[in-house]
Amino acid sequence: METVDTLLNARWVIPVQPDNLILEHHSVAIRRGRIVALLPQAEAATRFNADVSVDLPEHVVIPGLVNAHTHAAMTLLRGLADDLPLMRWLNDHVWPMERRWVGEDFVHDGSLLAIAEMLRGGTTCFNDMYFFPEITARTAAAAGIRATIGLIVMDFPTAWASNPSEYITKGLALHDEHKGEALISTAFAPHAPYTVSDEPLRRLRVLADELDLPIHMHVHETAAEVQQAFEQNGMRPLQRLDRLGLLGPSLLAVHMTQLDAVEIARLAETGVNVLHCPESNLKLASGFCPVGELLAAGVNVALGTDGAASNNDLDMFGEMRTAALLAKAVAGDAAVVPAHTALRMATLNGARALGLADEIGSLEPGKAADIVAVDLGDLKTQPVYHPISHLVYAASRSQVSDVWVAGRHLLKQHQLLTLDITELGQKARAWGRKIGQQGRTLE
C-alpha cells in the first residue's frame, strides 16, 4: 500500500474541473501538500495507508475559494460609513480615516481579522490591494493562507509612499522579498485610472511584462468615473488603458459595471480578466457588471468580496449566491450563471486570473491541496438533491467545517489552528473604540 499524509473520505467531492462533476463517496489523497488522487472510497481503503484519515460523511469537499479582490485590512473600517455613494464614501469618510489611522499596526491587525474571517468561510487564497502590503504578506504567510499581494501605486502621497516612483520602488523590493515563496505571490496594483497617471502606468506595463506579474486595478466602477474620464480626455478609461497597452491577460479589471458591446468584445479579444464584486457594487449603487454577456463572449470572470468596509463581509458563499441571482436578473434569463458556473467563478476562474490555475482552483492530482469541507447535514441544507446547487443557493459559510491550504489543516471542526480568535477580538474592539471616536466627528 502507498503511504499518504491525509485521506479525506467525503460524501461528495466536487473537483470543479471537469465542470459540473459530482463524485459520490470519494476520497482525496494528499501527500506533501499535494493531491495524489481522487478515487472511490472503497478503492482508497485498499490502495492507501494514511497517517491521518478524516471522515466527512455528510460533507461536500471542494477546492478552496479564491477571493479575487479585497482590501483585507479594511475589516477595521467595517460598518463605519454605510449607505453612501462611492465618491462621498471615499472622500468624506474612508480616506480621512485612512490618513489618520493606517500604519503597520492597523494593517497587521486588520489583515489578521480578515484572514480569520476568510478561513472560517472557506477562502484559502485572496488577492489584496492595500497600503503596507509587506505587513499583509508576512501576516498571511504566518497564518498559512495563500495570498497575492498587491503592490499598490497612486499618484498622491499616503502613509506608505509619497509619489509613484516610491510606490513602485517599494513594491519591487516586496516582490523580491517573497520571490519563490509557495504561498505568497505579487501583482502590481495601480488603484484606478482616476488616481494613476499615464507615466506610472506605462512603467508598470513594462515591469509587468519583465516580471510576468498581473496588474490589478479598479476599472469602470461607476458611471460617474467613466463620464468624468471622457470629459477630461475624450476617452473612456478602458480606451485609455488600451492605448497604454494594458489590455491583456495580465490585467485584472475590478468591478467593470459600465461596459458596452464594443468593450466586451475587446476584453474577450485581449484576454482581460474581470473581477466581479456584486455585493459591494450593489451596496454602493455602482451599477451592474454584465456577467452573462462577458461569459458568453469568453471572458474569464472571477469573484471577489471587495473590502469589508463596502460589503460588509468577506463571505464568498454570499458572493456566489448574489453573483448567480444578480446575473439572472440583469440578463432576464434564469439559465444565466447556473450554480456550477458560480462555483467555478469562485475557484478556478479566480486561480486563472491570478496566474495560479496550475496550482489551485480545482481538485486534480498534482495540484496543491487547498481544500474545503462543507457540512450539508444541517437542517437548512436537507434534503440534498444536488450538492452544487446547495452550495450556491442554500449553504452558508458557517457550514464550513475544515480547511486545508497546501495540505496543512488550518480549520479543524470549525476551530482555527493558527490564529487566536480571542486575542483578535480584543484587538478589533480596541480599534473600534479608537476609530469610532473620530468617526463620530465626521457625521
Examine residue 31 and state whether it is found in any structural domain, yes or no.
Answer: yes
Write down which residue in 306, 324, 353 finishes a domain: 353
Residues 135 and 73: their CA atoms lie apart, in Å, by: 10
241 shares a domain with 285: yes
What confidence tens digit (pLDDT) does each residue in 127-179 have? 999 999 999 999 999 999 999 999 999 999 999 999 999 999 999 999 999 99
241 shares a domain with 177: yes
92 shares a domain with 199: yes
Examine residue 400 and state whether it is found in any structural domain, yes or no.
Answer: yes
Position 441 scores a pLDDT of 46
Position 439 scores a pLDDT of 53
| CATH code where residue 35 lies | 2.30.40.10
Examine residue 180 and state whether it is found in any structural domain, yes or no.
Answer: yes
170 shares a domain with 33: no
CB 141 within 8 A of CB 184: yes
| CATH code where residue 185 lies | 3.20.20.140
291 shares a domain with 160: yes
CA 308 → CA 19, 192, 304, 421, distances in Å?
30, 19, 11, 18
Nearest residue to 315 via CA among 405, 381, 399 = 399
Nearest residue to 69 via CA among 255, 245, 286 = 255
205 shares a domain with 242: yes
| Domain count for the chain | 2
299 shares a domain with 213: yes
Examine residue 443 and state whether it is found in any structural domain, yes or no.
Answer: no
Cite the beta strand spans of 202-244 per DSSP E: 215-219
Cell of 293: 454577456
Does the bond joining 237 to the residue before it have cis omega, within 30 degrees of 0?
no
Average pLDDT over residues 236-261: 98
Position 42 scores a pLDDT of 97
| Mean pLDDT taken over the chain | 96
Range of the domain at 59: 2-63+370-412
311 shares a domain with 249: yes
What confidence tens digit (pLDDT) does each residue in 45-94 have? 999 999 999 999 999 999 999 999 999 999 999 998 899 888 898 899 88
403 shares a domain with 332: no
Average pLDDT over residues 7-34: 98
Q: How confident is the model at residue 442 (pLDDT cuts 50, 70, 90)?
A: very low
Write down which residue in 304, 326, 353 finishes a domain: 353
Examine residue 426 and state whether it is found in any structural domain, yes or no.
Answer: no
165 shares a domain with 129: yes
Examine residue 34 and state whether it is found in any structural domain, yes or no.
Answer: yes
Q: What percent of the chain has pLDDT over 70?
A: 99
User: What count of other Cβ atoms lies within 10 Å of the Cβ of residue 420?
Assistant: 12
Position 90 scores a pLDDT of 87
Write down which residue in 353, 384, 403 finishes a domain: 353
Residues 289 and 322: their CA atoms lie apart, in Å, by: 12
Amino acid making up residue 322: T
User: What count of other Cβ atoms lies within 10 Å of the Cβ of residue 408?
Assistant: 18
CB 304 within 8 A of CB 127: yes
Say how far residue 268 (Cα) sits from the centre of its chain.
21
79 shares a domain with 7: no
Examine residue 358 and state whether it is found in any structural domain, yes or no.
Answer: no
Average pLDDT over residues 243-272: 98
The single residue listed with the C-alpha cell 489584496 is 128
Position 87 scores a pLDDT of 86
Would you say the pTM of this structure is higher than 0.85? Answer: yes
300 shares a domain with 399: no
Examine residue 251 and state whether it is found in any structural domain, yes or no.
Answer: yes
In sequence order, what DSSP letters do the residues of 164-205 get, joined into one string? HHHHHHHHHHHHHHHTT-SSEEEEEEE--TTTS-HHHHHHHH
Coil, strand, or helix at residue 59? strand
